[in-house]
Structures are given as C-alpha cells and as structure tokens.
Structure 1
Amino acid sequence: MENYSNLDAEEFRILIVEDAPENIDILIGVLSNYNLIISKTGEKALKLMAGDAQPDLVLLDIELPNISGYSVCNQIRQNKEYDDIPIVFLTSKTDRESILKGFETGGQDYITKPFDTKELLARVKTHIELKKNKEQLKNVNRWLENKVAQRTEELKGANNELIRVNSELEKLNKELINLDKEKAEFLSIISHEIRTPLNGLIGFLDIIKSSIDDEKILEYFNYIDISTSRLEKFALLALQMTQLKVKNLKLDKLELNLNDIILGFTNSKFGEELSQKKISTNFDFSPQDMVVYVDESLFHQCISCVYENAISYTNEGSTIEIRGFLKDNYSCIEFVDEGPGFSEKALNNLFKPFIPGIKHVDENMGLDLAVVNLIIEEHGGKIEIENQDKKGALVRLLLPAKEAG
C-alpha cells in the first residue's frame, strides 16, 4: 500500500487552466512548491488530461476562450477515470447561480478572483489532502479485498479438505461398525463352537468321575474339570465383553432388592467356599430394603464377579464387608476384603483386559473386571476401586438411584 505521510508538495501535480497571464503569474508564485502544469485553453487541458501524467488537482477558470470552464469540467466528469480528481473553479463570479452551475457540472469548490493567497494555499492543500486520503483509503480497501479474497480461497480449500476428511472418517466409521458387528458374530460363533463340545466334555467328566475309585486318577480328572470350567468361563466373558462394547445387548431393567441378592449369593453360590476359608461376612444396608434398577442377569454377573474376587483374595479366617447405601443420586454397593490389595500396576490397568504379569488378573487375564466395568457403564454408572489404609481392597459399584414403586 502507498503511504503519503512523507510526500512533499512538489510530488503533487496541479493542472492550472487559465488564460490571463497576470493570474497565471500569481498562481505560479503562490503554488511554486507544487508540480505545476499550465494550460491557457480548455482544449489543451482536455488533451493533457488524456495523457499519462494525470493531475492530482485541476484549477479551472470558468471564462476561457472557445470553450467555457463549465464545459471542460463537464467533459472531464464524463470519464470515470477522472472521478477522484478534484476540480476547483477560478472565478470572479460570486452570484449564487454561477456557483451552483459549477457544482452541477462536477466541481468540488471555487476560489474567487482576485486571489487571496492564504485562502488559495489553504483550499489547494485541503483538496490535495482529501485526494491523498481518498486514494489511501481506496488502496487500503483494495488491500483488504485482496486479503479477504485470499483468505476466502484458503478457507474454501480448508473446507473442501474438511469435507473430504469427514467423508473418509464417515466411511471408516461405517467400516468400523461393520467390523464390530462381524467381530461380535464371529465371537458368537466361536463361543458356541467352544461351549458345545465343552458342555459335552463337562457332562462326560461328571459321569466318568462318579465311576472312578482311584484317588490319584480322580485328582487328575479334577484338574481337567477345573481347566474346562475356566475355559468355559473365559469364552462366556469374552463374548459378553464384545457384545457390550458393540452395544449388542439390550437391557431389561427391573427393580431388585439388593439385600435379597447379596444374601442369595452368600447362602448359595459362595456359601461352601466361604465356609471352607472360614470367612465371615458383615452386611450393612441403609435402607434395609434398598432397591436397584438393573438388568437382573447382568447385575447378578457383576455381583458374582466382585464377590468371587473378594473371596479369592481374602485370607482364611478374615472378614468381607458388604455395604449398600444411597449417596449423591447413586445407589452404592461396596465390597471390602482383607486381602493384600491391588498392586500399583494393577490399579493403573484395572479395566484393561489381557494385561500380563498382574497378580490379581492372572486367573482370567482381567476379563472379570473389564466386563463388570462395561456392565456398570451400560447402566449409566461407574466403578471405583481403591486400597484400604491398613489392608485389603474396596470395590464400589455406583448405579443411578431410582425410588422403588
């Protein structure tokens, strides 16, 4: 952009159109600091205007030979290229009609004869400055328009790229969804293919075990029984985890009494194991008839996994505390054991399946806790796990509370 702030007067060109020699001499003397071009006729002035060196200001006498200053001004204004060149009339006519005619033909101002040098200099300087500022503003606007056009093109390119990337992401997302579905279907088939022979194997193992008298052989068969049970459990957990991740399970929520569920597990499923390890259980439910709004099958699996984990890592003769209470719009269920607690590595990888070398998940490669976490999240809740200050671990399940009835 051009900067006029340091320009000298001589760098501005003024076209003087005047036929009286004495007036020309006065104008040359007063405006000597400017670059002056003199024309004594309107015809010559129009030719000069059509040349390469266009003026920054025209001082135009109204009374010229052959062609009047009004006519010259009118012809200049017919060319759009000269719109920004100010025209100031030089006139001895001060009547209202003459002045208005000058403005109507396209003049910006007038200076009366005889000239007042201070007024002449002031008027010239004002119009030069106005033209300079107008040109500067036009240049700024042109620069801004170019910048806007450039930025618009950049944004257009960026937008096209964004559209392309979004299209690719949408395509990849569809492929991922299809892949998840295929994975779920594949695991379902694999699970079925594993469970079918396993069920037959487990059934035959029970039959064979009932007919064996040799204790050593029976011990071997017990090991096989344990291995097949673990394999069956692993297949079920892997399938369920995949179904939960791809949202392939529909929740059938019911209002269930938490106290009844916990007592059911304590007295039936884990009763024998609790008795063998001489583990006592303390229950604390507030309210006593605390209700949870859950999918019964999935919630039973959560309680089973967490309860079984607490039993497995609680030392013989110790105590497991199970608490139920309402807090911050959550139904909270806590299992507190007196085992060794979780290692730091285990705490950092609690819900990541297949993390090797972590003691608390070596039995099932971490699938139990991963599935519990997914089930709780599917219910809109969360799971929190921490070590106790003295010994043992605390597992807290938080489910959105819902009043019974």
Structure 2
Amino acid sequence: MSPRIIAVDDSDIAQDFINATLSELGFDDVVSFIDPRAALDAIESDEAAADLILMDIMMPDIDGIELCARIRALDRWSDVPIIMLTSRTDMGSLSEAFMAGANDYVTKPFNQIELQARMRSCLRLKSELDRRRSGENRGARRRAVQSFSEATVPSLFGSKGGFQGNLMSLSPAMQKDLGLIVFRIDGDRDQADAARGQRQELQHLVAGLFGKVDIPARDGFSHWEDDLFVYGSLHADHAQLEARAQQFISAVAEASASVKEGWTSRPLSVSACVVPPSDAAVATSLARGIQGVESAGKTGATGTICLAANDIGHLPRNGQH
C-alpha cells in the first residue's frame, strides 16, 4: 500500500507539479492543501492522516515554519516526517524550519531522484522508530522522555530538533562527510528498566557521564529519545569514530554504576553503532545506526561497538570491545 502523503502549497501550479511528480514516483495516495490553515484544521481535528508531509516554506497567513511547529506540538504527529519545499531564495529560512521540527528539505524545481531519495529515507527512519516502539506504553514513555529532556539534556546536549537541524543544514558535500555514532543504554528496557523512574535516572546518569568526555568543537551530541543518544562528526573516518565511541563506552564503564534487575544487579553499560561517512541521506544513516545498535543489544553482549551495514536488515557481526 502506498504511503499517504500530505502536500501543503498555496500555488495551484506547484500542487499540480507535486502531484504529477509523486505519481511518477509511485506515490498515489496524496492529499493536497492550498490553504495552510485548512491543512492545520484537518490535522488538528484528525480529519487528515499521513505518513509524510511535504510543505512549502513561503505561504500566506501561516508560513511553513509556523505550520511545522504547530504540527509538531501535536503528540500523535510528532514522528510524522516533514520535508520542506524551498526555493533557493528562501534557503535562509531552513535553520528556523529545522528548529521547528522539519526532517529534511528539497529545493524547487524538484529533481525527481533527489525527492524520491529524501522521501524514502524519511519514511524508512519513521518505520524503524515505529518498529522499536511497538509493544511499549507510548504515553508513559513520552512523559518520561519529555521530563528527562526538559530537566537534563539542554545543559549537556543540543535538543533533538536542534541537532537534526544542524545536520540537515549542512551542504550536500558536507553531509557526505558526516559520520554518526548511535548509542543505546544496554539492558532489556521492559525487564531491567521496568521502573520508569529508574529508567529516567539511568538516562540522566549516562548523559552526565557522556558530558564529561571531551569532544572536538565541531562535533555535536544529542539525546535522541528514551535510551538512545546520537553523536555527529565531520571529517572523521571509521577508525576515528570507533575510537570516539570507545571513549564514551569506557566513561560509562569506569563509573562502576549498577542497574537493579529484580533481586540482582548488573553493571551499567552502553553499546554503540558506528555509521561512517557515505553518500546516504542523513535520515538513512540514522536509521541504519538505530537498527544497528538495537541488533547489538539483542546479542546480550554489553559495551559493544558495531558497524552499520549499507542495507538495513543486513548487519555485520558485532565486535566485543
């Protein structure tokens, strides 16, 4: 079944072009809005549903930046990918758009291959995030994550939205030179961290330990969600990224903290998945890293560093470090 796409653009000509382009790319379930306020009303009232939103930046009454922020404020729409449509004359607005919660952008007139790649990358990332959340109490988890993010992360890391915005605002050439490390707190989140309060304490503790590790000024770090952290670095090869990942893993191990598991306890540890620079879109690299570190966690090994595969679902054997 084709993903449902919402397209918001105040130009009839642009809407015709968007629909024709999406049809050629195999996206046949498209809901178009000329009026951004009508789009917001439909979204807020649950009259509209979508797997991805394409949104023009420059629109009357409500521009794309405000519309994006209003949509992101809705809990049920917080994970729906939003790709901004921008002309080269309003590229300066992209930083604001990313801070409002946009995932990616394409410039007008569209290159079909680029648009398809960015859409599929965003849909792939959403699918991976949805997969890892299945079976969890979404409402309780969100409250814990929101509390953690507001209380601890800003003092140590950039926000998820700001980190994402910084990544996506890189030039295409710089994006190809971007390496990522995805960290995950080890342990079964349903069993070992059954108490939500303890889970939040662990995230706080790991954030504090990560914050003590010196990193180059050009690098960035963010609490991504729940038990995931994401690190980004330019001009770092695989070996350098692996060495950096080991620094953070060692910082947690050297703290000698423990996690209660029923009547017993285990050492607190984190695992990492290294995603070296490549031609892949940033969203694709993030999805690879998330699945990689999830797969590493399922092996039962702790303090593991894995290398993300080129194709999600085909990961190399994890290495113990």
Normalising by structure 2, what TM-score? 0.40
Determine which structure has greater relative contact order: mean sequence separation of CA pairs < 8 Å that are 6+ residues apart, divided by chain length: 2
Normalising by structure 1, what TM-score? 0.32
Higher helix share: 1
